[in-house]
């Protein structure tokens, strides 16, 4: 960040009073610019023992497989974002069952919140960010080509613990994907 989004003056990097982290500070208008992690929200849309998967048609990770997920927008709840992303990427109508997986990825400032959801019908088709969508059993998933480690984590826990009511949490520290 070079300029204050409040007044347009050059900012400096420093530790504000009563804080312990470096922040961008505007000395002209006294604005402190906090930078916080991005929330990625999405679904594990299920139909019987299968999950709806999307092959990405956009970067990053174009051509790789994921479940419907994306950045949460301002003014929406995490659940609303998960429903929106599922509709945008797979044109799929789902009913959220519960929060299933939370993955913290500190090195890229992201937190994934993935919901278990039931497909309402089988009338799904690729949205503009997906080259194809399909229901996959555990054996049908292309495990070597999963786009994101947080999605890999959620999928593996879904198939390992299909009937539990736990929220699966992890912190991903490697820069694998």
pLDDT digits (tens, 9 = 90+) for 99-156: 999 999 999 999 999 999 999 999 999 999 999 999 999 999 999 999 999 999 999 9
For the chain, the average pLDDT equals 96
Contact predicate 134/45, CB 8 Å? no
Tokens of 14: 């420093």
Q: How far apart are the first and last CA of the chain?
A: 25
CATH 3.90.79.10 residue ranges in the chain? 38-171
Would you state the pLDDT for residue 177?
Answer: 46
Residue/partner pairs of 139-145 with CB below 8 Å, 24 or more apart: 140/50, 141/51, 141/53, 141/65, 142/65, 145/63, 145/64, 145/65
CATH architecture of 1-35: Single Sheet (2.20)
Would you state the pLDDT for residue 98?
Answer: 97
3-state secondary structure of 163: coil
CATH 2.20.70.10 residue ranges in the chain? 1-35
CATH number of the 38-171 domain? 3.90.79.10
Of the candidates 32, 35, 106, 94, the one whose C-alpha atom is nearest the C-alpha of residue 69 is 94
Average pLDDT over residues 22-40: 96
Question: Residues 149-177: pLDDT tens digits?
Answer: 999 999 999 999 988 889 999 999 865 54
Main-chain dihedrals φ then ψ at residue 167, nearest 5 degrees: -95, 120
């Amino acid at each position: 960040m070079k300029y204050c989004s409040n007044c347009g003056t050059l900012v400096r990097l420093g530790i504000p009073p009563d804080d312990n982290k470096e922040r961008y500070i505007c000395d002209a208008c006294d604005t402190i610019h906090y930078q916080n992690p991005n929330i990625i929200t999405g679904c594990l849309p299920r139909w019987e023992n299968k999950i709806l998967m999307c092959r990405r048609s956009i970067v990053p990770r174009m051509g790789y497989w994921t479940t419907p997920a994306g950045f949460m927008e301002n003014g929406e709840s995490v659940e609303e974002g998960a429903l929106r992303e599922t509709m945008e990427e797979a044109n799929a109508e789902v009913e959220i069952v519960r929060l299933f997986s939370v993955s913290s990825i500190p090195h890229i400032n992201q937190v994934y919140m993935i919901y278990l959801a039931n497909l309402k019908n089988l009338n799904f088709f690729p949205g503009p960010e997906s080259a194809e969508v399909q229901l996959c059993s555990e054996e049908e998933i292309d495990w070597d080509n999963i786009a994101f480690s947080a999605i890999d984590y959620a999928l593996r826990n879904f198939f390992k613990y299909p009937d539990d009511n736990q929220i699966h949490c992890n912190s991903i520290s490697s820069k694998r994907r």
